[in-house]
Amino acid sequence: MGQLMFISEEQLAQMVEKRVQQILNEREREKKEPYLSGSATARWLGVRRLDLIEWERAGVLVPKRVGSKARYALRDVKAFREYLNYKGQ
């Protein structure tokens, strides 16, 4: 079983502040990153929207959700297209 660790209030505050800053940095990077809609992603990959849904369920190409809409990171789509091209050879 795990060991009990004692930290000071100051150490805890520093740990929390560091994690919050990491999350904010991640969100800032995501804002700058281009995203594609499901339709655009399907066209770009040359597949059906149903394929995207199946890949999402399988955890292969997982979009970010904005409300009920799926948004695919362009870098993920490019990497997946390279994988499909490699697999098809």
Q: How many domains does the chain have?
A: 1
Q: CA nearest 52: which of 35, 67, 70?
A: 70
Is pLDDT at 80 greater than 60 in this prediction? yes
Give the residue, 61 or 87, on which the prediction is more confident.
61
**Arithmetic mean of pLDDT, 75-83:** 92
pLDDT band at residue 89, thresholds of 50, 70 and 90? very low
75 in a structural domain: yes
**CA-to-CA separations, 61 to 28, 56, 72, in angstroms, rounded:** 22, 5, 8
1 in a structural domain: no
Query: 0.95 cut: is pTM over it?
Result: no
67 in a structural domain: yes
**CA-to-CA separations, 3 to 6, 7, 75, in angstroms, rounded:** 10, 13, 41
pLDDT digits (tens, 9 = 90+) for 28-73: 876 778 999 999 999 999 999 999 999 999 999 999 998 899 999 9
4 in a structural domain: no
Tell me the residue range of the domain where 23 lies: 10-88
- What φ, ψ does residue 71 adopt, rounded to 5°? -130, 125
Any idea how long the chain is?
89
CATH of the domain at 35: 1.10.1660.10
